[in-house]
Amino acid sequence: MTLTPATDAFADTLSQQLPADTLRRVEPRFLEEPRGRWQGSSGWVALPRSTQDVATIVRHCAQTGTGLVPYGGGTGLVGGQIAPDGAPLLLSLERMTAVRAVFPEENALTVEAGAILADVHDAAEAVNRLFPLSLASQGSARIGGLLSTNAGGINTLRYGNARDLVLGLEAVLPDGEIWNGLKRLRKDNTGYDLRHLLIGAEGTLGVITAASLKLFPRPSATGTALLATPSPATALSLLARARDILGDTISAFELIHRQGIDFLAETLPDIRRPWPEPPEWCVLIEIGTGPATDPTEALETLFASALEDGLSEDGLIAQSKQQSQDFWTIREQIPEANRRIGSISSHDIALPLSVIPEFIPEAHARLAEIDSYRINCFGHLGDGNLHFNVFPMPGRTRADHAHQRDAIKTCVHDLTHAMGGSVSAEHGIGRLKTDDMLRYGDPTKLAAMRAIKSALDPAGIMNPGAVLPD
């Protein structure tokens, strides 16, 4: 389907329907993405201040057949926020940042889609509540984009993905009509749930403009530990043991390989490392408890049990907030160290927990048939989400392996698919993985997705080229 570019004449006509300064010439920041794989082609960006403004913009795009790309914080890693072809209109919600209402007794908060995640955390904390969605880009990622990609993060084990944290949505559909779905109900069985249709759709079915989010009681105390473990298999057994001993107090259970710590030593030497000689594998555990439980004592009980049964070889339990932050800095800075080393191919995959110990060595073996690499495997073990990233050996660069990138990705993704996993765990499909949708997607599911897209967006204006392959 051929769409009309957002030309100067288009912008002139649309600007007459909107408050002054809503439409601007696009700035370079809107045409770039973190990994530098795409360069946007848009010439205009709309910055509405209200949901009604968004509706006016979408309606005009529908009437003129102009492509529209919703833009959140620009932190996406699969190119969903960048349109390299067709010169569509960009729609940024960065001016729509209001916290509309907070309901601490209901454990709910209503916020506009342009709000930055860290500000939502602050609004929840102001009423002694917790909004648990947490990830490295929370200082710049915006709620609309996080919901549109069904973001995961470090607390998924306990609280779920973004999808699990939403009570209601307000959105503008592709014809410009506003869906007023900002209910705060925990139960509502009135037909199809448009909320879950829009969450994870990456802006291809409409523009999320506001959300009612779930809040939770803040833990009375938190505890953090780094436990060395011999292998991914023992790490999984340690997770099971932690669940038996600690119950649902576990907020995070992160798997870290020695390669990640070595990368930190190489690129960010000022970061404190917990061991002079890092173990091959370790897990970072965080728990949040009520007033009746001392988290440090609970973690000490877990460590003693794990040590006795060979599930852990060494361990460190944070004795202060600073020590806890030091542990988390290691995990949170691994992606930055990866960036500085320069990966050949990075993979955001999910696997059934029980196959992870088999997947990791098998993937290493298959990649060794292509060439020699350094592999940094880390991630959210508690929910089966691994970041399996492939790097050049010392003395070589990723440019030396550029001709192998497709073979590496196919190797990792084929094995993931064969073992019942997903080639997109928490970063979405965007434009990077549309071919993977064809290669690994269920044909019936793809047909249903196309039918939904055609029904809601018959002109195909919403984020053209993202998620669904041509």
The per-residue pLDDT of the chain, averaged, comes to 95
CA angle (218 as vertex; 217, 224 as ends), nearest 5: 135
180-229 confidence digits (pLDDT tens): 999 999 999 999 999 999 999 999 999 999 999 999 999 999 999 999 99
- Evaluate whether 305 touches 241 at the Cβ level (below 8 Å): yes
Decide if pLDDT at 36 tops 80: no
Tokens of 207: 């523009």
Please tell me what DSSP assigns to residue 280.
S
CA distances from 35 to 43, 83, 94, 345 (A): 21, 14, 21, 11
Tokens of 266: 């190489």
- Evaluate whether 160 touches 425 at the Cβ level (below 8 Å): no
pLDDT category of residue 314 using cuts at 50, 70 and 90: very high
pLDDT category of residue 53 using cuts at 50, 70 and 90: very high
Residues whose CB is less than 8 angstroms from the CB of residue 145 and which lie 6 or more positions away in sequence, other chains included: 70, 71, 72, 73, 75, 76, 81
- The average pLDDT across 347-352 equals 96
Looking at residue 194, its pLDDT comes to 95
Measured CA to CA, the distance from residue 264 to residue 248 in angstroms comes to 31
pTM: 0.93
- Evaluate whether 54 touches 172 at the Cβ level (below 8 Å): yes
Angle of helix 356-368 relative to helix 232-246, nearest 10 degrees, comes to 160
234-276 confidence digits (pLDDT tens): 999 999 999 999 999 999 999 999 999 999 999 999 999 889 8
CA distances from 393 to 257, 389, 408 (A): 16, 13, 15
> Which residues partner with 89 through β-bridges?
68
pLDDT category of residue 30 using cuts at 50, 70 and 90: confident
CA angle (318 as vertex; 315, 320 as ends), nearest 5: 165
Element holding 16 (H helix, E strand): none
Element holding 310 (H helix, E strand): none
Looking at residue 42, its pLDDT comes to 87
Looking at residue 85, its pLDDT comes to 85
Looking at residue 74, its pLDDT comes to 86
Burial class, 53, CB count within 10 angstroms (exposed 0-12 / middle 13-18 / buried 19+):
buried
Please tell me what DSSP assigns to residue 402.
G
- Evaluate whether 143 touches 118 at the Cβ level (below 8 Å): no
Tokens of 465: 């080229």
Backbone φ and ψ for 282, nearest 5 degrees, come out as: -150, 165
Looking at residue 1, its pLDDT comes to 64
Tokens of 353: 């927990």
CA distances from 398 to 343, 395, 419 (A): 6, 10, 28
Backbone φ and ψ for 154, nearest 5 degrees, come out as: -85, -15
pLDDT category of residue 6 using cuts at 50, 70 and 90: very high
Most distant CA atoms of the chain, gap in Å: 73
Element holding 429 (H helix, E strand): none
Decide if pLDDT at 470 tops 80: no
Neighbours of 197 (CB within 10 A): 15
Angle of helix 232-246 relative to helix 295-308, nearest 10 degrees, comes to 130
Q: Which amino acid is at 394?
A: P
Tokens of 423: 């080639």
CA distances from 290 to 222, 240, 287, 364, 390 (A): 9, 21, 10, 42, 41
The beta strand positions in 274-384, using DSSP E, are 281-289, 314-317, 348-350, 374-380
Measured CA to CA, the distance from residue 94 to residue 113 in angstroms comes to 8
- The average pLDDT across 100-119 equals 97
370-419 confidence digits (pLDDT tens): 999 999 999 999 999 999 999 999 999 999 999 999 999 999 999 999 99
Please state, for a pLDDT cut of 90, what percent of the chain lies above it.
88
CA distances from 377 to 282, 348, 401 (A): 12, 10, 19
Looking at residue 38, its pLDDT comes to 78
- Evaluate whether 44 touches 90 at the Cβ level (below 8 Å): yes
Angle of helix 356-368 relative to helix 405-418, nearest 10 degrees, comes to 150
Looking at residue 41, its pLDDT comes to 86
CA distances from 93 to 46, 99, 125, 192, 376 (A): 8, 14, 24, 27, 35
Give the strand pairing for 89-92 and 68-71: parallel
Measured CA to CA, the distance from residue 181 to residue 170 in angstroms comes to 5
- Evaluate whether 281 touches 256 at the Cβ level (below 8 Å): yes
